[in-house]
Amino acid sequence: MTTIYDVAEVAGVSISTVSHVLNRTRPVREETRTRVLAAMQKLEYRPSSLARAMVRQKTRTIGLIVPDNVNPFFAELARGIENYGFDAGYSVMLCNSDQSAEKEVAYLDMLISKRVDGVIYMTSDAAEERLAPLRSQMIPVVTFDRDFPGVHTVMLENHRGGFTATEHLINLGHRRIACVAGNYSTSHSQDRVSGYRDALEQNGLVYDPALVLIGDWSLASGKSAALHFMRMAQPPTAIFACNDIMAIGAISGLHTLGLAVPDDISLVGFDDISVSAYTVPALTTVATPVRELGEMMCQMLVDTIGGVIDGTAIRRTLSGKLVVRESTAPPHRR
Amino acid sequence: MTTIYDVAEVAGVSISTVSHVLNRTRPVREETRTRVLAAMQKLEYRPSSLARAMVRQKTRTIGLIVPDNVNPFFAELARGIENYGFDAGYSVMLCNSDQSAEKEVAYLDMLISKRVDGVIYMTSDAAEERLAPLRSQMIPVVTFDRDFPGVHTVMLENHRGGFTATEHLINLGHRRIACVAGNYSTSHSQDRVSGYRDALEQNGLVYDPALVLIGDWSLASGKSAALHFMRMAQPPTAIFACNDIMAIGAISGLHTLGLAVPDDISLVGFDDISVSAYTVPALTTVATPVRELGEMMCQMLVDTIGGVIDGTAIRRTLSGKLVVRESTAPPHRR
DNA sequence: CTGAAAGCGCTTACAG
DNA sequence: CTGAAAGCGCTTACAG
């Protein structure tokens, strides 16, 4: 691996000069510059970001912690982050936590050791104390849907989303509406469910805990929730799932039972991941601008690193939008 | 940020000693050790991986270049890589190329500058020359389904997979079978298609170019291919799509046309991504062990970095397995 | 059992 | 317009 010393020697200048032509950080005589450039070319010189990072105290790398990058929501989010990061000259380290506190801590530790300039932290629970090391190292953090003091965050209007989804079903004439919640002990799911509950109650319907099941955001849990609901003595005529993945699992469960969507039962999801427009039937859902969300989070982080944003924590809110497709219809009259 | 000097001072020892208790690299008197450990704890010391990397010439970081991490195939692959890497003490940098040569080159450059120990390179075309810089820097590379001299690779039995999928349809009685190919100029798609063709010809059926459409692996392209096929004067009774995503798009297209799968037309995919078991109808597909693939690739890379594998390029082959679900049936008799 | 010193490859005041 | 030197935070022979 050729170093700045090799280049300096070949070009017959000092390493300072090489460094300065590299960074355009002070005027260099044109002839000298050309010689240096030629030497770099000839030696296929690639400056070491490591050495640079040591002295600049900036690695131009950010850490991204997600529960699971296979989940389309996080995949899309990672994409948005990577996109923005690339354009801004940052690379991103991918860390999957599997919703495990130990893995989160292990990764946080690794990221600090690698001296990342910042981290985007999609935590699965509300454990603020895990952020302490970042805080004491002065590493900026951006979270999603969290309310940690001093930490930037992007919020999603979860309550409103749950409300809108449910209201849509009520407006279609549904009276018995079930809900598949998610299991992160966070606003994420809880707010969507309370939006569901409020929509029910504001429309004079009773909230029945038996109609709320807690899944784990997976296809399998959506499917088993649907199976469970349809085996009740008095099954619901519609289901609101807290994410599209579970909604898709539910469609599959219903299909297994020989039930048709939306003829026999209506279904609303949340997120609008890309397959949702291609399911059979196409899914009605609350669309979240996930990629934009990722880009926004990355921008907040980069701006903080660059000092564009001062120390005070900022909050931004993104709202979902109901997208009506084929999976919802008035309840079947039997 | 506290350094090894701070720890040494607080513990009243030299930095050599601190380094040695940190790395357990030479015996240290128990009492001294305890003092050092206490100092590290007190100062919340986190050794800088940057400084360590400078002297060790190893970053314990690998680069992953994929066309798009949102594509479930690459998402699953990234997961397998990250999993194995985490256990082996490596972190992974996520790079999306969007199938663009320029982005690949830019990322390759960045990865070299950041001195990654190796790269896993899912390239969208067969451009071997882009690997030259890696080669001259002696950075190990693992590719997928590529045959670059001196470069490790994991091959998939694409031809066999395409053959098996098509044969399954033929065995069900189909005679007019279409194919949705992918657009990477690689064995990836080409071999699957030639497997399809060989299955046809070995069973006495003619290969009709009009029945092969080139998509771009996306939902949208699968859908439009299906629409195209069904508008032909003599539409096929079955479709083999070169990945599940396009197959799912095709189901959607057929649904739009009011056609039922598999009653009106049968469908086979490739990959077996997780949703494929949950589509309506559940998709018959050639299952690829994608996560294992990722783990295997990462292991090959880590072993090469660690010197476990010598310089000679190794090739491993993974085979797909037909998973019959609901999307295939004998052709409809009208 | 422990320490002093060189070196990894850069950037950046400080001088001239 | 250019160079010599210190320093970023570690590891690792070399000595004792």
In tens, the pLDDT along A262-294 reads 999 999 999 999 999 999 999 999 999 999 999
Angle at which helices A4-11 and A30-43 pack, to 10 degrees? 130
Nearest chain A Cα distance for residue B214, angstroms = 19
- For nucleotide D7, the protein residue with its alpha carbon nearest to C1' is A55
* Between B240 and A184, residue with greater pLDDT: B240
Which pLDDT score is estimated for B187?
64
* Between B176 and A189, residue with greater pLDDT: B176
pLDDT for A118-165, tens place per residue? 999 998 776 778 888 898 888 999 998 888 888 899 988 999 999 999
Positions of chain D reached by protein Cβ under 7 A: 1-5, 7-13
Counting residues of chain A whose pLDDT is more than 70, the rounded percentage is 97
Chain B window 2-41: residues with CB closer than 7 Å to nucleic chain C are: 12-17, 20, 26-29, 31-33
Quote the CA–CA distance of B57 and A11 in Å, as a whole number: 26
Task: Tell me whether residues A115 and B49 touch, CB distance under 8 A.
Answer: yes
pLDDT for B255-297, tens place per residue? 999 999 999 999 999 999 999 999 999 999 999 999 999 999 9
Quote the CA–CA distance of A61 and A41 in Å, as a whole number: 26
Positions of chain C reached by protein Cβ under 7 A: 1-5, 7-13
Chain A window 27-56: residues with CB closer than 7 Å to nucleic chain C are: 45-48, 50-52, 54-56
B45 nearest nt, CA–C1'? D9
* Arithmetic mean of pLDDT over chain B: 93
Nearest chain A Cα distance for residue B206, angstroms = 32
A48 vs B106, B115, B223: nearest CB: B115
A277 CB contact with strand C at below 7 Å: no
Counting residues of chain A whose pLDDT is more than 90, the rounded percentage is 83
| Dihedral sign of CA atoms A82, A84, A89, A90 in order | negative
Which token pair is B202?
Answer: 């070995």
Distance A2 CA to D1 C1' (A): 26
pLDDT for B13-69, tens place per residue? 999 999 999 999 999 999 999 999 999 999 999 999 999 999 999 999 999 999 999
The 3 state secondary structure assigned to chain A is CCCHHHHHHHHCCCHHHHHHHHHCCCCCCHHHHHHHHHHHHHHCCCCCHHHHHHHHCCCCEEEEEECCCCCHHHHHHHHHHHHHHHHHCCEEEEEECCCCHHHHHHHHHHHHHCCCCEEEECCCCCCHHHHHHHHHCCCCEEEECCCCCCCEEEEECHHHHHHHHHHHHHHCCCCCEEEEECCCCCHHHHHHHHHHHHHHHHCCCCCCHHHEEECCCCHHHHHHHHHHHHCCCCCCCEEEECCHHHHHHHHHHHHHCCCCCCCCCEEEEEECCHHHHCCCCCCEEEECCHHHHHHHHHHHHHHHHCCCCCCCCCEEEECCEEECCCCCCCCCCC
Q: What is the pTM of this model?
A: 0.92
Distance B130 CA to D1 C1' (A): 38
Nearest chain A Cα distance for residue B270, angstroms = 16
Nearest chain B Cα distance for residue A331, angstroms = 21
Whether pLDDT at B334 is above 60: no
Distance A26 CA to C14 C1' (A): 15
Task: Tell me whether residues B219 and A274 touch, CB distance under 8 A.
Answer: yes
Report the length, in residues, of chain B.
Answer: 334
pLDDT for A296-322, tens place per residue? 999 999 999 988 776 688 899 999 999
Q: Is the peptide bond before B281 cis (omega within 30 degrees of 0)?
A: yes
H or E segment and range at residue B55: helix B49-56
Which pLDDT score is estimated for A334?
47
Lowest model confidence (mean pLDDT) among A79-88, A175-184, B180-189: B180-189
Which pLDDT score is estimated for B126?
67
Distance B82 CA to C14 C1' (A): 47
Contact assessment for residue B317 and residue B157, using Cβ atoms and an 8 Å cutoff: yes
pLDDT category, B186, cuts 50, 70, 90? Answer: low
* Arithmetic mean of pLDDT over chain A: 93
Spell out residues with C-beta < 7 A from strand D: A 12-17, 20, 26-29, 31-33, 51, 54-55, 57; B 1, 3-5, 15-16, 19-20, 22-23, 25, 45-48, 50-52, 54-56
A93 vs B70, B93, B275: nearest CB: B93
Task: Tell me whether residues B110 and A94 touch, CB distance under 8 A.
Answer: no
Task: Tell me whether residues A83 and B70 touch, CB distance under 8 A.
Answer: no
Whether pLDDT at B229 is above 90: yes
Which amino acid is present at A63?
G
Distance B138 CA to C4 C1' (A): 34
